[in-house]
Structure 1
Amino acid sequence: MKHPVTGDEVGGIALNKTRIALRSLDVPSISDVSVESTQYVLGTDENRLPLRRFIDQNDAFIVLFDQPQYAYIDGSLYQDDSLTSGGATFLGYLFASEELAHVTGEKGTFSAAHTTFDDTSTFGAILGPIAAEDDVIVCDDLNEEWADFIGFRTDPASPRITFYHAKHGALSLGASPFHISVSQALKNLGNLALPEPKMAAKFGVWDRCYNNDRQRTRIQRVCRGTMAAVQAAVTQCRSAPHTMKRVAIVTSSLSKAAVAAEFDRMNVGGRVDPYFVQLYWLLSSYFAACAEVGAFGCVICQE
């Protein structure tokens, strides 16, 4: 394996009979990093693993091939021909929002006088047209958050719960801007069920004003609706068997048109960009993981 910028050798893999192993990983910045169990005080876990061994044992890496329709992810080999056949299915998971073109930050600025999130932030964009169909919305950012925002559509005919994960960054066709948001989204898929034992603590958090980095504000965490409406929405969406569960990564760092153009370029024989292939497989694995728990995963991005 070579460093994408310097071209230096930084590691190697081994092709075994049943799996691909991460044989070595020589990156000075992580050479002293180990992974420990959270049940121990930091530095006292005798079974802690060097990061390279942890990555290898948990198959926490992706291997891409010269033929981009193949990828080795989480210890399994996958084939997806849609990458080389126009990308129509993949594009169906991307939803364009004009509002995100005007975003300059993820959360915006805060002061004691703030009563809502800045319009020029991703947070503000979510509370604008992006979550327009939700009649109840709470901000769950910080602490043990499930998502930055949780939206509820309480129409009895089509109830829906949405976990919104907000990000901001420069436009890119690489995977790097998505690693954190995808990880956060996957970690909280189980909470889409709104587990009753956890709700009392959540209601307590949501019934307060939002504070960020020790700055108090007048922003209510119940951004749309009332606390009573929130509790009723939780009960309704949890109990209705036809509730749609949706997970949305909302980001200004991706353009749907740019993704479509990349597919078009590949379809006419253009060079396959390895960074775009990595993005494709990272998001595809996110969409698939959501589907496995009966949820619809998507990305809301720039036009």
Structure 2
Amino acid sequence: MTKNAQFYRVNEPAEDELVRNILDTASENMNPNSGFVIDVFRQERNIEEQNLSFVYSAKAFPSSRPVYFLEDDFEDKVYAFILIIEIGDYFAILKKSCANIFDLMDENFTLVGSKEFSSSFSDDDVEFQRLALRNMTVSDRAMRSRSYEAADLKGLLSTHSAGRSIPYYFKLRQGAKTRSISGTGRVIESSSRETIDNIAAWVSEQIGLIESPSNTNFLDAFASKSELNEVLKICSPNAVLIESSSLFDRLKKDGVPVKYKTKKGRIIGVSSRVYKELESALEKVYDIDPDLNIADVNDGSRIRANKKSLTLYSKSLAKFRVPENGKLITLQKYIVKHGFYSVTFGDPKYMYFMGACFEDSSGMSEIDNILELFQSIEEIPAVDSEKGSFTEESENFSEDSMFDIIEKIHAEDDYIFCDDLGDEWADHITFNKENSNICFIHSKHGDPSTSASNLHDVVGQGIKNLGSMYFNAPSMLSKLDKTFKKNYKSGKGVQTKIPRIRKGNIDDFESYLANLLKDYKLNRSCILCCSFLSISDVTKEFNKIKEGQPVRGNIVQLLWIVSSFAHAVKDMNVRPIIYCAK
């Protein structure tokens, strides 16, 4: 076999009955009327030259699974196997094409997390070459996951807001060895095929690494694992998100069709329309009420709080079926087995993901960093609209509109362009040679509030247009000819006399832009101008979170959204700023 195993910690000595139950469950997809090629139960072996004793159990058997790329009723005959190696207080599971044993293992053992493996390496010993992160948010306006790859990510990857990021996969090199470690407790090491004795020696080596963690590690800056039962004592789940992109990517990659069980018990393939409706439904974030029922679904869907896990129950998802290892299982079971769901809590520093609970390790300093994004603008309380009213004779935006205030705030900049409507990069784009700065400004007006919904839209615009901030000269000059040289036309179709070039001599712009883009000090700012927010209100509510006081759900969402905005912008080497009232 290759070195590819999942590691579990034994909570109490495993009885023969439990081990036999695991083996029997794994072999439930064995072909009828066929026998085991290998059938070994808890046999002890000794490797004298390595002074190693271990116990192993194994089953290998023929199994069949449907072939989906042919229309006729073909089957693919494979040989499945499961190997259990017991060393000390650990079980290592190596398996292929077996039936699902996830529920049984999760109920009786503790999965060894990816950070437990990573903590066994010193930064001086390894090169982190690939890293996949899940942000601790379920906001539909926030970046949910990211991945990075480099010769060595240490020193290259910004750890801003790292405490709110869960590492769920990483690949590292240690000398000549390359390991991949996932959040599901799976370790894969590049190797040729090995005998059971050599695999057992490798398992023993991994256990030794787990048992002797180093002092510091690159991944210590990221979210840390917490005991679910301890988290549930202090806060309750408040929202669930199906990781729909991961789910459907997996289904499409493996060529797995989705089927549906009718009221009469027939299993039929779903149409493309139903498939799209299912995708759309699973993209949403669903609130969880205090009784752990999923709100606004009305089919008895709920979150079940088990001793060590949160599982999803849904009658709607149970009606859909997907084939796995030759058997049809419910889509609900498939989602739970593969960890394709996330649960957030009333306390925003916790999140349940891929079968484990995580805590934001950045602590309360993250809130202080977030509050530094806000800048108070004296004129904002007087704002009464986003753009004001227009007539065909209008030459400027209305007094006390957001657009007018922005142009006053940036009056010292060299160039100000209004890019609102159409193929917009921002509401305003400004240039300042003295400060070596380019600003993309997005404005949103609303009544004073700490509601997260107003911020959703403007944050979405800001993040969506981050890529445009690294424009080249030809693309900006093209926008100048196609958009900025025209007068502003309102969204209601009123053609005004307001020039989109709000400030600056356009005849000099081409040479000005060329010099600015060559400036080694050039920096960029993504600015949100939000008349509905005030620093005092936000600070008051965020400080409650710091002090462990209860806050309304919208405050938690507001914190997630602002944190995600800051994280996404800083990842692009852009400065995040939020203009608001005092």
TM-score in same-fold range (> 0.5)? yes
CA–CA separation in structure 2 for the residues paired with 1:47 and 1:207: 46
With over 3 angstroms needed to count, the CA separation of the structure-2 counterparts of 1:259 and 1:52, relative to structure 1, is same
The residue that corresponds to 1:7 in the other structure is none
Q: CA deviation at 1:218?
A: 1.1
- Residue type matched to 1:284 in 2? S
* Closer, same or farther: CA 238–86 of 1 in aligned 2, 3 Å: closer
Question: Could you tell me how far 1:166 is from its partner in structure 2?
Answer: 0.6
Q: CA, structure 1 residues 134+265, in 2 after alignment: closer, same or farther (shift >3 Å)?
A: same
The CA deviation string for residues 225-275 of structure 1, in whole angstroms up to 9 with x for no partner, is 122344344323322222111000001010001111123334455322221
CA gap of 1:169–1:192, structure 2 versus 1, over 3 A, is: same
Q: What is the deviation of 1:81?
A: 4.3
Q: Which residue of 2 aligns with 1:6?
A: none
Residues 161-216 of structure 1 deviation map (CA, whole Å, 9 limit, x = unaligned)? 00000100011212110111111111111111123442343012101111112111
Which residue number corresponds to residue 186 of structure 1?
463
Which residue of the partner structure matches residue 486 of structure 2?
208
Of the three residues 354, 372, 397, the one matched with 1:92 is 372
CA distance in 2, matches of 1:128, 1:167: 16
- Counterpart CA distance in 1 for 2:473 and 2:563 is 31
Is the 2:425–2:468 Cα contact (8 Å) retained in structure 1? Answer: yes
Q: Does 1:273 align with 2:493?
A: no
What is aligned with 2:564? 285
8 Å CA contact 1:96, 1:255 repeated in 2: yes
Aligned to 1:51: 280
Kindly provide the CA deviation profile for residues 84-108 of structure 1, in whole angstroms up to 9, marking residues without a partner as x.
Answer: 4693211100001011100111111
How far off its partner does 1:221 sit? 0.5
Distance 1:276 1:195, change over 3 A: same
Q: Distance in 2 between matches of 1:47 and 1:102?
A: 49
Identity percentage of aligned residues: 29
What does 1:1-303 correspond to in 2, within 5 Å? Answer: 22=242, 48=276, 50-54=279-283, 63-71=343-351, 79=360, 81-82=362-363, 84=364, 87-129=367-409, 131-155=410-434, 158-204=435-481, 205-212=483-490, 213-303=492-582
Which structure is larger by alpha-carbon Rg, 1 or 2? 2
Whether the 8 Å CA contact 1:95–1:298 is kept in 2: the answer is yes
Gaps of 5+ in 2: 1-182, 185-239, 245-271, 286-334, 336-340
Letter in 1 for 2:281: R
CA distance in structure 2 between the partners assigned to 1:301 and 1:161 by the alignment: 20
Structure 1 gaps of 5+ residues are 1-16, 25-43
Taking structure 2 as the reference length, the TM-score comes to 0.41
CA distance in 1, matches of 2:545, 2:565: 23
- Matched letter for residue 206 of structure 1: F
Letter in 1 for 2:378: E
- Distance (whole Å) between structure 2 residues aligned to residue 86 and residue 295 of structure 1: 18
In 1, the alpha carbon distance for the partners of 2:402 and 2:358 equals: 35
Q: Counterpart of 1:199 in 2: which secondary structure?
A: helix
Whole-Å separation in 2 of the counterparts to 1:62 and 1:166 = 32
- Alpha-carbon separation, structure 2, partners of 1:63 and 1:181: 25
CA contact (8 A) 1:246 1:297 kept: yes
Q: Classify 1:107/1:300 alpha carbon distance in 2 versus 1 (closer, same or farther; 3 Å).
A: same
Q: Deviations over 1:42-80 (max 9, x none)?
A: xx99984541244599xxx9853133223579xx96726
Segment of structure 1 superposing worse, 109-118 or 229-238: 229-238
Q: Assess, with a 3 A threshold, how the Cα gap between structure 1 residues 201 and 78 changes in structure 2: closer, same or farther.
A: farther
1:10 counterpart residue number: none
1:8 is matched with none
State the shift of 1:119 in Å: 2.0
Where 1:253 maps in the other structure, the secondary structure is strand
Q: Is the 8 A contact 2:375 2:579 kept in 1?
A: yes
Q: Distance in 1 between matches of 2:573 and 2:540?
A: 30
RMSD: 3.1
Q: In the aligned structure 1, how far is the partner of 2:479 from the partner of 2:555?
A: 38
- Does the residue aligned with 1:87 lie in a helix, a strand or coil? helix
C-alpha contact 1:210 1:221 (8 A) present in aligned 2: yes
TM-score, with structure 1 as normaliser: 0.76
1:154 to 1:71, Cα distance in 2 relative to 1, 3 A: farther
Structure 2: how far apart are the matches of 1:45 and 1:223?
48
Between the two structures, name the one with larger relative contact order (CA 8 Å, sep ≥ 6): 1
Aligned mates of 2:464, 2:524 — CA distance in 1: 15
